[in-house]
Structures are given as C-alpha cells and as structure tokens.
Amino acid sequence: MFASDSLAEWLHYQEQLHAATIDMGLARVSAVRDAMHLVPDFPVIIVGGTNGKGSVSAMLSTMLARAGFKVGTYTSPHLLRYNERIALNMQPASDAQIVKSFAAIEAARGDISLSYFEFGTLAAMHTFIDQKVDVAVLEVGLGGRLDAVNIFDADVSVVVSVDLDHQEYLGDTRELVGFEKAGIFRAGRPAICADPNPPASLIEQAEKIGAKLICYGPDFGYTKLDNQWSFHMGEARRHALPLPALRGGYQLVNASAAIAVLECLRERLPVGIGAIKQGLVEVEWPGRFQVLPGRPLVVLDVGHNPHAVKAMVASLTVLPFAENRIAVFSMLADKDIDTVIELAKGAFDTWYVGGLDMLRGQSGEAIGAKLAEHQVANVKVFDSVDAAWQAALSSAGENDRIAVFGSFHTVAAVLEARQHNA
C-alpha cells in the first residue's frame, strides 16, 4: 500500500496506477465509495454541461459562501495547482488535507484500481465530509452518466449547455451527448437545463426517470437592462442584479442557472438578495474570458471546442477597438481544431502558435500547418506556448489585443510565464 506525506508523490503514483486516463463506468469507484462510507449529510449540487459548468459552479459557490454557508467545491481540470480542484469557500484545500483523503482512499480500495480523476472525486467528498461543509458543488468531469461525480446523488442537477466535445466517449450528435449529460438527473429532484435549445434526448430522459425538469426560457430566465438585470422563475423575482464579474454575454445565462439552483434549495439553504449580488460581483474563475489589467489588453480563455470558441469570438467583438488582434493559440490533438480555426480566423490579424509537449499534445508546426490549410496568413510558429506568448507580448503595442486560447494547457502556460516574470 502506497504511503507518502507529499502531494506530488501521490499524484505521480495515481498517474501510474490505472492504465486508462479516462475510464468510463461507475462500478469500481462506487465500490470504494461504499467501503469508505462516503454518505454526505448535506445538499449536493452537480453541475454538468459542455461549457459553462465551471462558471456556474464558481457563481453558486461564491453566493452560498457570502450567505454564510461553508461550501465545498470540486472542479477540474486545474490551471496551476492540483489543490484548485478541491476548494473550501473558494480557497484551495491544503496539501495535508488532500493527502489525508488520498491515504483514506488507498486504505479502503484494496485491489480495486482507480483512475487519477476517480481518486480526486473520492478525495473531494472525503474532504468535504471531514471538514463538515454545509453544501457541496460538484462539477462533472466528462459527460455525466458515467462520470465519477455521478456516484453521488444530486439534490439539484444542472446541465448548463449541450454541444459536441469528447465525441469518442459521448457520441457525435447533440442527441447522444444530451442523453449522457442527463445522466446526472435524479427522480423527483430538480433538474435544471440552461441550454436554450435542449436536445429531445435530455428532455425524454428527465421525463423517463421522473425528474423535475426546469428549462431556461419557459421556466426561468433573465431580462437585461443597461447596467443591471433581473431574474425570474415562476413567482420568484430578483431585481436590480449587478452584471457578473465574469466577462462574456453568455454569463447571464450561467448566472440565471446558478440562481435557479438557489431557488430550488431555498428552504434548506436560504440565500438573500445581498449574498446573491455580492456573489455576482466578487466571483472569480480564472481563464474564462478573463481580461487582465494593463496594456496591451490580454484575454485568457480556456475554450477548446467550437461551442466555447464561438462564444469567445462573440465576446471579443464587444471589447474596445484593437489596432492589431493577436492570437496565442495551441490545441490538443484530439480536439476539433478545424472547426475552431474556421470560427476564429476572422477575429485575428496575427497568430502566434506553440506546441504542447504532453500526451495528446501536438507540435507548433502541426498547428501552423492546420492554419495554412484554412488559408490563415501571418502565422508565427514556436516550439512552446511560452515562446509564442513571449514573442507575442514583445511585439504587441499598447493599443493591440492578445487573446490566449485553445486549451487549459495553453492558458496555464501563459499564467505560469506571467508568474515567473512578475
């Protein structure tokens, strides 16, 4: 049995332990959950969707924390430190706390093999129970039905959006993806869908199991005014709400979904209008259309699929005029780079591309060749994202704009470079 006081050593151990990085199915991880007696006695909110689930999780967690509740939040992937995945009142858990949970999992699992993500999911719930949280917000890693997070029953489930990503696991149509996402719904419990055009498969699955489906549009929504907005859901109204601190027009749909969750839980977790407003203003979620202070204007966006990149391009259009629109770009090899380039190529004048040296990564040359296939001119190719970023930054004038996008790894490389040079 493995033992260590080092978080880094535990993570290295987990990476070697299970043959498949992604191993869909709940039998193994459910067995370890039962062996550990991980039965939360607090409300559990599960947030799924192709895009937007991290933003909704962050808004929910911030609002609940501002209302005085102790909130456990589990998200993935992380940008800079593993600890970001397991947060208590939006602060990363300590190395010691996570190691304690890993040791408990190792003691309970026997000869059951667990993936890196399954270890993390169990560790998050173990931490939240150990730390006596009032509520847990769990973000789905991939899909929903067979994702490790789904071993826990949600008191309220949310599917933020449904689009194509991870087609090799979830299917290559919105109907197939919608069925997988709806797997987090539970009979007799609220199931919120914030996608304005939900697939029939999602609606059918909710009806089949008897979930209380609540859809954006017919059941809840928002009205935007100049510098504020209002939320409505049935008889419930929330007026004079501040615009979310998270940038992008789509964030009002995400904020509406978060408030809809609170409405569903108001008897168990009452959250006043003051905490909602405070949460909207104070929420932070790095890398989601994050506009950095200073000049040139820099936007960080982890968008890595067509749905997310289309939203990013739309959000770029409302930013101030830029003399030169610069992209710092890299994507993993198993993503739909062709559609992403088609969506984004009109939004930039110059592209700086770098390779990602990792499993599923690809070289700067391969990405440059893809851009050439799509008739994108003015492309500069580098071995790494760090080198591409440094070159873009040194060439940019104060009236230019740099958008860093294409992968969590792309944004993380730039954040690490900024920290190193600070």
From the list 408, 421, 418, 420, the residue with the least C-alpha distance to 84 is 408
User: Could you tell me what percent of the chain has a pLDDT over 70?
Assistant: 96
Q: Please tell me the predicted confidence (pLDDT) of residue 165.
A: 56
- 247 — pLDDT class (breaks 50, 70, 90): confident
- 21 — pLDDT class (breaks 50, 70, 90): low
Block residue for tokens 């839980």: 265
Residue 77: partners with Cβ closer than 8 Å, 6 or more residues away: 85, 408
148, 58 Cβ separation under 8 angstroms = no
The distance of Cα 364 from the centroid of its chain, to the nearest Å, equals 26
> At 406, phi and psi to the nearest 5?
115, -20
From the list 249, 255, 205, the residue with the least C-alpha distance to 232 is 255
Alpha carbon of 49 to those of 140, 155, 202: distances in Å? 8, 17, 12
From the list 261, 267, 250, 97, the residue with the least C-alpha distance to 192 is 261
Convert the pLDDT of each residue in 59-101 to its tens digit.
999 999 999 999 999 999 999 999 999 999 999 999 999 999 9
pTM above 0.85, yes or no: yes
In 238-336, alpha helices (H): 251-264, 273-282, 306-316
Convert the pLDDT of each residue in 271-301 to its tens digit.
999 999 999 999 999 998 999 989 999 999 9
